[in-house]
Amino acid sequence: MGKTTGFLEYDRKDGAVRPEADRIRDFREFHESLAPADQRKQAARCMDCGIPFCQAGVMIAGMASGCPLHNLVPEINDLVYRGRMEAAYRRLAKTHSFPEFTSRVCPALCEAACTCGLHDEPVATKENEKAVIEYAFAQGLVEEEPPAVRTGKKVAVVGSGPAGLAAAQLLNRRGHEVTVYERHDRIGGLLRYGIPNMKLDKSLIDRRVQLMERAGVHFVLNTDIGKDIDAKTLTKEYDSIILACGASEPRDIKAPGRDAKGIRFAVDFLSEVTRKLLDSDFKSIPVDLAKNKDVVIIGGGDTGNDCAGTCIRLGAKSVTQLEMMPEPPAERLPSNSWPEWPRILKTDYGQEEAIHLFGADPRIYQTTVKEFRKDKKGCLKELVLVSLESCLDEKTGRRMMKPVEGSERTIPAQLVLIAAGFLGSEKYVTDAFAVETDARSNVKTEIGDYAASKEKIYVAGDMHRGQSLVVWAIAEGRNAAKAVDRALMGYTNL
């Protein structure tokens, strides 16, 4: 696959990124593309490695290794190398519903498992994927045609995030009548309101949704199932229902002063920023949310990074990120061998921008909040932080982070964003459909299955597996669609 000696002849080269001083002035995407000739060279680096871990999508040491969608990565790279972009798109579309999303927001599990990356830089599979899908859109190759024959079966999809959209896409192609219910004012779920525009331009979601609408998928907005429409009513009206509502119950930080004004959940904050930008067609920037404020973000994952980049664009006075765990190593440890997911230090765009603007990495490791302090008006004014150390819990035998006595210190803060992850499904939804949940409040199914405990009810995405990646959500949506189709028709050709 690719050029036999390509990985020896060409170094990895990524598309240009707009400088921090430029990109922090707006909310436009800042990753640019390579010229087609350069992209072909990058695809030429794909080795004839024999065992393509990049497309395996298996769990190793509790972490995903390779693409959960099982994209035929070496074949796609080979076609890009040969300049056969239409064929590359056709091959990619066999396994992938929305490459335009993952090629922008996925952490590239395929690249982490790339054989070339064992001793050198991995193949730029993510950018190759972006080049393929954008070529396909530019050339009018991406189509969603109404099915030639309808089955007479009706399916409701609750939630329009990546899992719900993927399920709806395949079930509509099969000929079922599909209606997607979304409680918010726009389609996209996490894609729309959980990821900032500079990371995923929202016009890309609209572009895809318009294709699905033309193909016959029905979208119902501002409708919260379990509140606006009774779950029993929905169950009577449809032959099958897929719950794809996400793991949207945020993990809170319990500390004295938590009721102070100025403490928000990260996704609520990001959603408000995006909604105001979209409502004004990007003419009005909601700087009042963070301008001249000392911002502290609790959590160091993707959402915490997105909060950092967003607050910088809103004119924050300072940005600090708190992480409970120790700083990861710069390189793989012997205990974290390839092709496991590399547990190493990564500096993402938000941290890069903070370093540029404030002169230092915003992350403080092994630290958490001991107390939120308010002023006389009840507004947040500062935080008491405490350092943490790793120790062994005698009862469970697990490692845990314990406060270090006497390590308290105070920092100013007028805005705190809690990006500490999610606990699982929202209870009012699972209660409405009377489905069983597991210890993490995810909807319970048999291992490898998508059918919930109640007849006709299926589940996909974060609501099924817990908080995860967009690529996993798409894979879950596609698999749930197959399960529904098999139940409705007695077999599936999806």
Measured CA to CA, the distance from residue 390 to residue 402 in angstroms comes to 6
Residue whose token pair is 């499904």: 425
Listed range (303-312, 335-344, 450-459) with the worst mean pLDDT: 335-344
What percentage of the chain carries pLDDT values higher than 70? 100
* Residue 341 pLDDT class (50, 70, 90 cuts): very high
Task: For the chain, give the mean pLDDT.
Answer: 96
What pLDDT sits at residue 1? 66
421 Cβ partners below 8 Å, 6+ apart?
A: 250, 251, 299, 301, 467
**133-161 confidence digits (pLDDT tens):** 999 999 999 999 999 999 999 999 999 99
* Residue 300 pLDDT class (50, 70, 90 cuts): confident
User: How much is the pTM?
Assistant: 0.96
Query: Are the C-beta atoms of residues 29 and 201 closer than 8 Å to each other?
Result: yes
What percentage of the chain carries pLDDT values higher than 90? 94
Q: Cis peptide before 329, with omega less than 30 degrees from 0? A: no
Residue whose token pair is 């294709």: 211
* Residue 399 pLDDT class (50, 70, 90 cuts): confident
Structure tokens at 470: 């967009």
In the predicted structure, residue 95 carries a pLDDT above the cut 90: yes
Q: Strand 318-322 and strand 177-181: pairing?
A: unpaired
Return the number of other C-beta atoms located less than 10 Å from residue 291's C-beta.
13
* Residue 443 pLDDT class (50, 70, 90 cuts): very high
Residue whose token pair is 């979304």: 182
Average pLDDT of the segment spanning 425-445 = 95
- Kindly write down the DSSP assignment for every residue of 128-179, as one continuous string: HHHHHHHHHHHTT----PPPSS--S-EEEEE--SHHHHHHHHHHHHHT-EEE
In the predicted structure, residue 437 carries a pLDDT above the cut 70: yes
Measured CA to CA, the distance from residue 192 to residue 160 in angstroms comes to 9
In Å, how far from its chain's centre is CA 312? 21
Q: Which domains does the chain have, with CATH numbers?
A: 6-138 (1.10.1060.10), 154-248+423-489 (3.50.50.60), 252-420 (3.50.50.60)
**28-72 confidence digits (pLDDT tens):** 999 999 999 999 999 999 988 989 999 999 999 888 899 999 999
